[in-house]
Each structure stands twice: as structure tokens, then as C-alpha cells.
């Protein structure tokens, strides 16, 4: 199969990019690949909303820029922060023009929410299901474009470069090029190749490398792992953001339900087992301090009290307003017997967002030619050591737009690479035992949660590294001899991503932002990215 533009991922980053190129070039072909259902993405689960300077009387670009820089703890690229904040408003307006509905006051003004680290109310939202509204809007717009083909249940295995043509490709090879991808078509169970002039990688995050995460099952870091295998540049992987308030439900693993930070923005208060509003002991911004600070404070309270959760108290809040803004959260809590007007909500931190990823420039270009990256799998320089809440949907739209601008100029002179060999499956046989995969996955999640979580130290990182070595060796052996499956490939990708997180964490000899190492308790003046 050949396609002019190939888009991997059907979240906000992939869909925005596809829509723009399709509208610009009605005669060119665009193919979107997604590994499960088309709307099963991190995007769909976004709750709080999208940050943007919409109220120019109260808010300003400078304030949003400053808040982003403060959260990023010295590692943001200031020029990129300015681009995202200033261009973001136009991107939000495009989304509204495509049909996205954001909540308004009775007098027609947008209701702007507040979240941790924001000095002003600037979060546009659609109740507490903002991401679902964005997916709906974008998928509807995509369906109207006759030159876009969206293929679901299609697992991308690897990007194709000169390596597949038989050339030696290393990290120092100057002009690595992307010619398309190999896929496992889950409908036919066949491995196929898709050649493309331009490939956009919008494959999302990696929360699934941890035992407890707000991310759905698709978030296994495939994009980062593929680019790393292809010898592309990856950076800042140690900065994994833990959301402070995932709903604690005994026995629930995999994907935890999020209690949006906007609840604290509307007045929700964190309390420990003794009922104490503990955040004032940790930061003057209390419950609305940046996420790294709140998550570490909760972690500390849980350790002091020997508990698995703290509480989010919403009992004093206006219950009518709570119902209006957070109907989904209220219904979820009620479904497990928690009436938010009478009961406090048990919450604990969960892996939520990967700040690092595939290194891109200001046009979304990766270090591999004709390969762009946008959204959570990319590292643009916006987030630095810690992402400001609700900045990621904005970042995805801004860089998908910039990638679109860059790629429309680039595609004019590009030709398909026609010499790509078929996938080589020689010597592989059907898997005998799934336990070899499922047990390794359990071990991986456990070691990442226990050794590479909110608080780290050198000994834990060292141990994590050693255990990952063994998992890597066993999984590579299995991969060499087994017919590929999504489960095996995801495990392999997650081991690679976990290795990148640990390696970057070991390289950073300081505590900064989301990376807190008790052997280096204070932020130093190192101030540079970890590039792998």
C-alpha cells in the first residue's frame, strides 16, 4: 500500500494533522492508522480541558508563559513556550470552528476553569469530558474528508529506514530517512508494508509502563520505542508526570479513573487520614501547587500514615455547580457508593503523562527525515521538567499545525521508495505460552512503580536497570523466535521505554521537576536535557 501522508495515531495530534493536510491537498491520499478502536486514545479521557488565553482583560500571554516556565523548573525552551501560548489561541478557535463545544456562562462567555500552577482561570472545558468532545469533533470532521482512510485495529510494528534496505544505520548516520512502516493488520493477521512520502507519528504516551496509571491500555510508548530502534533522538524521558488524584479503588489496576485537577480548582481540598488539610504544610499555593509538588506531598502523607490513599474533600462545595461541571465524576463516584456531598473521595497519585519523548524542532520535525512527531510522544521543549496542567492538548494542536505547514512544503519534491523488502518472519513460530509475556509485563510494571516512581534514589534506579536487562534479554529471545503479536510487541516497546526512563533518570544527577532523587535532594544548576 502507498499513501502520500501516513499518520500513526487517532488522538488529537494525529487527527488535527490529518484534517489539515487533507483539506490542503484534496487530491493526495492520507492514511490514519490506530491500533484499536478509532477513539480509544489518551485524548478521549482528557477531563480538565485545554489551556488558552481567552480572557484578555484578566489574563495575558505573559502570565501563561510565566506559569509554564515555572512549572517546567528551568528546563523549558522559552521560544517554544512562547510559540505554543501565542499560537494556541488560534488553534483553539479552529477547533471551535470544526464544531467543538466548550461550556459557557448564561451570558455567553466561556467558563474558564483553574488548575494547579495556573495563576489565572484559563481552562476551556466541556464539563468533565473535554477529550471525548474533542475526539467526537475531530472524528466527525475526518469522516467528511474523502481523501482520508482511517484504518483501525492496525498495529504499527516499526518505521522503515535505510536499515531495511540493507544499509548500516547508527546514531551517527547523518541522513536517516523514513519511508513508511511495517504493520500487523489485525483483521487479516498479516504483516504488510505501507510506504509513505511523509509519516506523522502521533502515537501518544506510555503510562502503561506503571502499575497504576490514568492512561488507557493503548499507552505503551510504541512511538518512542520505534524511533529509538530506528536510531532517532529521544530526550527527557525521566520526567514522568504522576497525576496527584486518581480515584483509589482497591484491586483496580491498569487504568485508574481520574478525578480532574479542576475539582481542586473549584475548591476541592486534599486531606490526610486525620482529616488534616495537609497541602498548606508543603506549598503556599496549597492544593493548586504544580503537580509534582502535590503528588510528592500526597506520596509523603501516604508513607507517614501507612495508607494507600488520601482524601479529596468536596463536601463543602456547591453541589449544584459540582453536578453541572463534573457529572461524569459524580456518577462514577456514586457507582462505587461514594456520594460526594457526604463522603470524601479516596485518591492516590498515578502515572499520567510523559513530558519527554521523540525530540522535535519548532516545526515538529524529528531527527529522521520525512518523519514528524506531535502530541504526547514528542518532546518539543514546552514542558521542561514538569508539564503545566492542560497544556498538552494545546501543544498537540500547535505542533500538528506547524508540522502541517512544514510538510506541505516538503512533500512537493518527495517520491515513494519502491525497494522496500517484505517483513522477514523466517524462523518464527506461533507462541506457545502467553504466560511468558504476561508475567514479564507484571514484573515490568511492578519494578517501575516501586523503583522508578515519584521518589527515586540511585540504588533503586540501579536495581531497576539490572532487572530490565534480564527482561530485555528474555523478551528479545522470545521476539526472535515467535510470530509477532500486539502483546509481544507492546511488551518489547514498554521494556525499551522503561529502559529510556531509567537511563535518563540515572544520567540526571540532581532533583528537578518531576524527577526527585533523594541522593540529590536539591535542584542543581545542570539545566540541560538528557538526550539518548
Site for ligand SIN, rule CB under 6 A = 47-48, 260-262, 353, 389-390, 392
Residue nearer to ligand FAD on the CB measure, 130 or 380: 130
Q: Report how far residue 12's alpha carbon sits from residue 210's, in angstroms, rounded to the nearest whole number.
A: 23
Residue 332 C-alpha from the chain's centroid? 23
Yes or no: say if 196 and 420 are a contact pair by the CB < 8 Å rule: no
Binding residue for ligand FAD, selected from 147, 212, 392, 511, defined by CB under 6 A: 392
Minimum Å gap between C-beta 528 and ligand SIN is 25
Q: Report how far residue 93's alpha carbon sits from residue 423's, in angstroms, rounded to the nearest whole number.
A: 43
Chain residue at closest Cβ approach to ligand SIN: 48
Beta-ladder partners of 113: 123
Query: Cell 536499515 sits at which residue?
Result: 163
Beta-ladder partners of 182: 158, 193
Q: Report how far residue 391's alpha carbon sits from residue 92's, in angstroms, rounded to the nearest whole number.
A: 12
258 near ligand FAD, judged by CB under 6 A: yes
Sketch the per residue contact string, 370 through 389, with ligand FAD: x for CB under 6 A, - otherwise: -----xx-------------
156 near ligand FAD, judged by CB under 6 A: yes
In sequence order, what are the residues at sequence separation of 6 or more whose Cβ sits closer than 8 angstroms to the Cβ of residue 496? 221, 224, 225, 228, 229, 472
Binding residue for ligand FAD, selected from 5, 7, 22, 35, defined by CB under 6 A: 35
Yes or no: say if 207 and 218 are a contact pair by the CB < 8 Å rule: no
10 near ligand FAD, judged by CB under 6 A: yes
Residue nearer to ligand FAD on the CB measure, 219 or 464: 219
161 near ligand FAD, judged by CB under 6 A: no
The number of beta carbons lying within 10 Å of the beta carbon of residue 26 is 9
**Catalytic annotation on 291?**
yes
Yes or no: say if 461 and 408 are a contact pair by the CB < 8 Å rule: no
Sketch the per residue contact string, 174 through 203, with ligand FAD: x for CB under 6 A, - otherwise: ----------------------------xx
Yes or no: say if 53 and 59 are a contact pair by the CB < 8 Å rule: yes
Q: Tell me, what DSSP letter sits at residue 133?
A: H
Binding residue for ligand FAD, selected from 34, 367, 407, 529, defined by CB under 6 A: 34
What is the pairing mode between strands 154-160 and 148-151? unpaired
Residue 375 touches which of ligand FAD, ligand SIN, none (Cβ within 5-8 Å per kind)? ligand FAD
393 near ligand FAD, judged by CB under 6 A: yes
Residue of 122, 211, 291, 402 marked active site: 291
Minimum Å gap between C-beta 485 and ligand FAD is 12
214 near ligand FAD, judged by CB under 6 A: yes
Query: Cell 519502491 sits at which residue?
Result: 418
Query: Which ranges of 370-457 would DSSP assign to H, the alpha helix?
Result: 392-410, 435-451
Minimum Å gap between C-beta 27 and ligand FAD is 26
46 near ligand FAD, judged by CB under 6 A: yes
Query: How buried is residue 530: exposed, middle or buried, by Cβ count under 10 Å (0-12/13-18/19+)?
Result: buried
Integer-rounded Cα Rg, in Å, for the chain is 22
Minimum Å gap between C-beta 292 and ligand SIN is 13
Minimum Å gap between C-beta 206 and ligand FAD is 10
Residue 7 touches which of ligand FAD, ligand SIN, none (Cβ within 5-8 Å per kind)? none
Residues in contact with ligand FAD by CB under 6 A are 8-14, 33-36, 41-43, 45-50, 130-131, 155-156, 202-205, 214-215, 218, 222, 258, 353, 375-376, 390-393, 396
Residues annotated as catalytic are 291
Amino acid at each position: 500500500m502507498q499513501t502520500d501522508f501516513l499518520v500513526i495515531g487517532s488522538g488529537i495530534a494525529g487527527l488535527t494533522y490529518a484534517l489539515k493536510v487533507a483539506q490542503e491537498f484534496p487530491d493526495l491520499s492520507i492514511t490514519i492508522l490506530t491500533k484499536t478502536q478509532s477513539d480509544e486514545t489518551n485524548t478521549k479521557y482528557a477531563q480538565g480541558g485545554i489551556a488558552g488565553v481567552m480572557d484578555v482583560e484578566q489574563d495575558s500571554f505573559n502570565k501563561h508563559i510565566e506559569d509554564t516556565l515555572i512549572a517546567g523548573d528551568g528546563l523549558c525552551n522559552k521560544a517554544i513556550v512562547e510559540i505554543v501560548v501565542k499560537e494556541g489561541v488560534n488553534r483553539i478557535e479552529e477547533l471551535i470552528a470544526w464544531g467543538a463545544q466548550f461550556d459557557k456562562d448564561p451570558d455567553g462567555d466561556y467558563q474558564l476553569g483553574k488548575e494547579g500552577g495556573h495563576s489565572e482561570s484559563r481552562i476551556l472545558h466541556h464539563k468533565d469530558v473535554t477529550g471525548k468532545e474533542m475526539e467526537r469533533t475531530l472524528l466527525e470532521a475526518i469522516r467528511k474528508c474523502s481523501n482520508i482512510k482511517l484504518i483501525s485495529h492496525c498495529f504499527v510494528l516499526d518505521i522503515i529506514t535505510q536499515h531495511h534496505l540493507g544499509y548500516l544505520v547508527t546514531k551517527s548516520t547523518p541522513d536517516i530517512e523514513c519511508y513508511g512502516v511495517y504493520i500487523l493488520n489485525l483483521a487479516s493477521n498479516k504483516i504488510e508494508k505501507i510506504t509513505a512520502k511523509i509519516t506523522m507519528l502521533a502515537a501518544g504516551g506510555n503510562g502503561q509502563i506503571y502499575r497504576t496509571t490514568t492512561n488507557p491500555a493503548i499507552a505503551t510508548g510504541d512511538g518512542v520505542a520505534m524511533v529509538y530502534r530506528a536510531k532517532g533522538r529521544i530526550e527527557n524521558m525521566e520526567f514522568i508526570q504522576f497525576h496527584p488524584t486518581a480515584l483509589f479503588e482497591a484491586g483496580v489496576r491498569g487504568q485508574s479513573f481520574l478525578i480532574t485537577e479542576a475539582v481542586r480548582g473549584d475548591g476541592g481540598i486534599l486531606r490526610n487520614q486525620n482529616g488534616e488539610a495537609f497541602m498548606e504544610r508543603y506549598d503556599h499555593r496549597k492544593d493548586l501547587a504544580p503537580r509534582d509538588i502535590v503528588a510528592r506531598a500526597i506520596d509523603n502523607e501516604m508513607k507517614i500514615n501507612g495508607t494507600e490513599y488520601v482524601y479529596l474533600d468536596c463536601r463543602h462545595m456547591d453541589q449544584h455547580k459540582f453536578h453541572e461541571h463534573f457529572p461524569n465524576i459524580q456518577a462514577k463516584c456514586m457507582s462505587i457508593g461514594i456520594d460526594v456531598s457526604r463522603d470524601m473521595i479516596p485518591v492516590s497519585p498515578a502515572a499520567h503523562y510523559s513530558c519527554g519523548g521523540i525530540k522535535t524542532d519548532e516545526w515538529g520535525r524529528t531527527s529522521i527525515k520525512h518523519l514528524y512527531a506531535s502530541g504526547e510522544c514528542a518532546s518539543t521543549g514546552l514542558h521542561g521538567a514538569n508539564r503545566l496542567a492542560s497544556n498538552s492538548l494545546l501543544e498537540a494542536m500547535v505542533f500538528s499545525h506547524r508540522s502541517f505547514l512544514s510538510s506541505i512544503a516538503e512533500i512537493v519534491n518527495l517520491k515513494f521508495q519502491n525497494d522496500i523488502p517484505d517483513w522477514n518472519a523466517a524462523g518464527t513460530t506461533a507462541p506457545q505460552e502467553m504466560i511468558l509475556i504476561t508475567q514479564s509485563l507484571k514484573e515490568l510494571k511492578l519494578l517501575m512503580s516501586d523503583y522508578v516512581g515519584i521518589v527515586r534514589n540511585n540504588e533503586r534506579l540501579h536495581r531497576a536497570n539490572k532487572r530490565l536487562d534480564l527482561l530485555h534479554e528474555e523478551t528479545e529471545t522470545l521476539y526472535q523466535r515467535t510470530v509477532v503479536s500486539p502483546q509481544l510487541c507492546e511488551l518489547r516497546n514498554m521494556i525499551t521505554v522503561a529502559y529510556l526512563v531509567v537511563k535518563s533518570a540515572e544520567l540526571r544527577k540532581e532533583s528537578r521537576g518531576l524527577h526527585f532523587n533523594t541522593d540529590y535532594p536539591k535542584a542543581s544548576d545542570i539545566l540541560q536535557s538528557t538526550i539518548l
